[in-house]
Chains A and B, each alone.
Chain A
Amino acid sequence: MRFLALFWKELRAFFASPLVYVVSAVFLALSGWYFYTDLDALITFGFGESIVDHLWQRLYNDIVRILITVVPLITMRVYAEEKSLGTIELLYTAPVRDIEILLSKYLACMSVFAVIAGSTMLYPYLISRMTPLDFSQLWSVYLGAFLLISAMVMVGIFISSLTEAQLIAAMFTYGAILLLWNLNWNEAAIPDSWAGVVSQLCAYDHFEPFARGVVDLRHVLYFVSLSVFMGYLTMRSMESREWRGRR
């Protein structure tokens, strides 16, 4: 009951502000453009390739790239706004656990992304009206996207918990997300001794198999542990009021 109240409050806050609607509109416009251009590219240049098999991999790589750049805009406010308004003090003194506060914020962010990303299911639907579709690959893509977004949202929430300034939270989150996403794009530039670790950290390498329809537990584990680790850091950041004496 208490948790539900927290969750509703977070969700309201998103949908009471115009930001979520603007973000969704821009995202839908861009993903629609990619849907059209990716399909067109396969039809024009994809000689001998099965269009329906290859479209999703291309399309979802493009869509996910837009999606992760949206993350900072959604997560920047969750703590920073409450800290600058001062409302976090009432949350901290309400009979709720810190982890309930964190989870309510996380779930609210994920709900926003469920709405935004869920709307892209329109594209497979359109294709399935014309030709039979293998949905198993799609499940894997959406599972991968869910895990990826979940980890990136936790990165954003953690960074938001460090500051009162939303834009600073957003910019640092951009930095962290884009770095994680592209960490490994030029393997030759990375010293050999680090290569093993760096390639394990790169989010793109862990997401890409999902886009191909491969669900590997190792990649699931990567995103889950990144999310949990970021959640742990956020909890420590919330506890810093103990010694900082401030919100």
Chain B
Amino acid sequence: MIEAHDLIKDYGRNRAVNDVSFRIEGGDIVGLLGPNGSGKTTIMRMLTGFFAPTMGSCTIAGVDVQSDPREARRHIGYLPERVALYPDMTVRSYLNFAARVHGMSRGLRARVNETMELTGLTEMAKRHIGKLSKGYRQRVGIAQAIVHRPDVLILDEPTVGLDPRQIVEIRTLIRELAGHSTVLLSTHILPEVSITCRRVLIIDQGRLVAEDTAAGLTERTVGHGELLVRLVGPEEQILSVLGGLDGITSVEVVGRAPSDATSYRLLTAAETDVRTTVAQTAIDCGWGLQELTRNTMSLEDLFVRILEESSRGSG
């Protein structure tokens, strides 16, 4: 549904996007993840035909964006990074305008009503946009993007600047929309993609550095095995017995609680889960097992690691 082939964008001598290619199938919901200034907005602006790539091409719903921008844009609903709306217009008149500009005429009123219902704007229909709160303006931004029921939704930082409750609402809305449209959203907040998206494209300094499913990304944080165990028992024995178990590469003491329990960190070989074995061993040896947790790497850690790996790879 969305295809990018070797996209390059230069601003003067500065290369903002460097050789980015990807393919997004219909109905998918994909996150474009990267630090601020990494080229996410530039990629989205090329996809929407706001400007043309310096080199490369992109197609939306099979239509080449450069050669037929108007036909391509017909399939797109776009929420820019800075949600820009006419403050003097009411919510309804603005959505009417957005729908007409996308070529709708019949069934317009019903569609606008339906869209306001979906985005929770019905009570605000007659309000001037300039008088709405940030959260409601964001909804108007999303409403204008979906009012013509586009095949492709491109959302640039859809939850930025919202309060936690609004963020949850907008995420839920986006997931609902993914049923009808293919969604590409950008964010620099990691949990956002893992919650909302099925697939993630990671961008850094204009390059596509990693591509994975959201589940795969989470798996990468878990697969790196680390267990935290708190046991009551003789330290020497515990260290030697646990260290001898299959699949455990090292054991170390990380803290001693006042209640003569000791915390140990076990590093395991990747892909093996030794939790059951550890628990069974503790019971067999008569140690008190107080805690057994699988330590996961945070997404932030993973992100930093991916960026480091990619810069090592390129350097």
Interface residues of A (CB under 8 A from B): 1-2, 4-6, 8-9, 12-13, 16-17, 85-97, 241-245
Contacts and interface: CB of A to CB of B under 8 A. Distances in A.
Interface of B: 9, 11-12, 16, 42, 45, 48-52, 69-71, 73-74, 76, 78, 80, 82-89, 93, 97-98, 100-103, 105, 144
A93 B50 contact: yes
Contacts of B45: 93
B88 A5 contact: no
Contacts of B71: 95
A93 B101 contact: no
Given A89-B84, A95-B71, A243 B11 contact: yes
A5 B84 CA distance: 18
- Report which residue of B16, B69, B82, B86 has the largest number of chain A beta carbons within 10 angstroms of its beta carbon: B86
Nearest to A86: B84
A87 B140 CA distance: 13
B254 to A, nearest CB: 50
B101 A87 contact: no
Given A96-B70, A245-B11, A16 B144 contact: no
Contacts of B50: 89, 92-93, 241
Contact of B73 (A12, A17, A93): A93
Contacts of B48: 93
A94 B76 CA distance: 8
A186 B11 CA distance: 46
B86 A5 contact: no
Given A86-B82, A90-B84, A245-B51, A1 B105 contact: yes
19 contacts: A1-B100, A2-B102, A4-B100, A9-B86, A16-B89, A85-B87, A86-B83, A90-B98, A90-B144, A92-B49, A93-B50, A94-B102, A96-B70, A97-B70, A241-B50, A243-B12, A245-B9, A245-B42, A245-B51
Contacts of B9: 245
A101 to B, nearest CB: 10
Contacts of B52: 242
A6 B101 contact: yes
Contact of B76 (A6, A91, A93): A93
Contacts of B144: 90
Contacts of B93: 12
Rank and list the top 6 A-B pairs by shortest CB-CB distance, nearest first: A86-B84, A5-B100, A95-B73, A93-B48, A87-B84, A245-B11
A14 to B, nearest CB: 10
Contacts of B105: 1
Contacts of A88: 84
Nearest to A88: B84
B152 to A, nearest CB: 12
Given A85-B84, A95-B69, A95-B71, 12 more contacts: A2-B100, A5-B97, A6-B101, A16-B88, A85-B87, A90-B78, A93-B80, A94-B73, A95-B73, A242-B52, A245-B11, A245-B16
Nearest to B44: A93
A215 B69 CA distance: 43
Nearest to B86: A87
Contacts of B97: 5, 8-9
A2 B76 CA distance: 16
Contacts of B74: 95
Contacts of B83: 86
Contacts of B73: 93-95
A85 B70 contact: no
Contact of A1 (B11, B51, B76, B103): B103
Contacts of A8: 97
A95 B11 contact: no
Contacts of A9: 86, 89, 97
A86 B101 contact: no
A136 B280 CA distance: 108
Contacts of A6: 101
Given A1-B100, A16-B88, A90 B80 contact: yes
Contacts of B100: 1-2, 4-5
A91 B78 CA distance: 11
Nearest to A93: B48
A16 to B, nearest CB: 4
A9 to B, nearest CB: 5
Contacts of B70: 95-97
Nearest to A4: B100
A95 B102 contact: yes
Q: Which of A16, A87, A96 has the most CB of B within 10 A?
A: A87
Contacts of B102: 2, 94-95
